[in-house]
């Protein structure tokens, strides 16, 4: 019994605290990190397309994106990318340069237009498969319960076999 206690004490001393507790934040990456991350660990990418002025984007950050189930799903099953829809810096992704487009009152980044099919709406979420092909676009604020169902639908590739509506009804009964 003393040996077991000693082993536990030693384990606690040499194991970083971060590995002993669940993560409480999403490991958001920048778009410039995504290709490298995908090459090392192929799994879907999940984009949170936001703007600094968007109230519903801030609410997602303060509520849904803080939920432990959402945090765990995004960190484990996806490469989560936080992307400012109005990003001004030019960058290269998938061999293409994406620039800021001055348009209207604020403008947008060319990748925003590509990800959202030119329908700029914030917040929006875009899932890409391992080949960088778009799976879906989801628009608007989402509460945790529905968001978890959406993430499971995408992560487990149910979209290959059934529509979102059928999957949602089978999980929520609504």
Within-domain flag for 17: no
Q: Which has the closest alpha carbon to 34: 85, 119, 91, 101? A: 91
What's the pLDDT tens digit per position in 132-146? 999 999 999 999 999
Within-domain flag for 18: no
Burial class from Cβ neighbours inside 10 Å (0-12, 13-18, 19+) for residue 155 reads: middle
Mean pLDDT, the chain, whole residue set: 88
Give me the number of domains the chain comprises: 1
Higher pLDDT, 34 or 105: 34
Q: Is the pLDDT confidence value at 5 over 60?
A: no
pLDDT at 174: 67
What is the domain-level CATH number for residue 103? 3.40.30.10
Within-domain flag for 119: yes
Lowest mean pLDDT among 1-5, 21-25, 91-95: 1-5
Within-domain flag for 11: no
| Range 25-38 average pLDDT | 95
Domain that holds residue 47: 23-172
Q: Is the pLDDT confidence value at 9 over 60?
A: no
Q: Is the pLDDT confidence value at 47 over 90?
A: yes
Q: Is the pLDDT confidence value at 22 over 90?
A: no
pTM: 0.83
Higher pLDDT, 125 or 14: 125
Supply the DSSP string of the chain, one letter for each residue. -HHHHHHHHHHHHHS-HHHHS---S---B-HHHHHHHHHHS---EEEEEE-TT-HHHHHHHHTGGGSHHHHHHHHHHSEEEEEETT--S-EEETTEEE-EE--TTT-EEHHHHHHTTT---SSEEEEE-TTS-EEEEEES---HHHHHHHHHHHHTTGGGTS-HHHHHHHHH--
């Amino acid at each position: 019994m003393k040996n077991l206690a000693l082993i536990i004490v030693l384990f606690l001393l040499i194991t970083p605290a971060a590995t002993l507790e669940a993560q409480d934040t999403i490991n958001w990456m920048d778009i410039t990190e995504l290709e490298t991350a995908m090459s090392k660990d192929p799994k879907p990418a999940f984009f949170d397309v936001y703007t600094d002025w968007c109230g519903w984007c801030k609410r997602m950050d303060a509520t849904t994106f803080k939920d432990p189930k959402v945090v765990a799903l995004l960190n484990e099953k996806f490469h989560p990318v936080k992307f400012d829809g109005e990003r001004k810096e030019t960058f290269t992704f998938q061999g293409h340069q994406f620039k800021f487009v001055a348009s209207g009152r604020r403008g947008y980044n060319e990748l925003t237009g590509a990800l959202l099919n030119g329908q700029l709406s914030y917040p929006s979420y875009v899932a890409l498969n391992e080949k960088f092909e778009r799976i879906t676009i989801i628009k608007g604020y989402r509460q945790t319960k529905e968001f978890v169902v959406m993430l499971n639908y995408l992560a487990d590739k149910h979209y290959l076999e059934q529509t979102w509506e059928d999957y949602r009804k089978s999980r929520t009964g609504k």
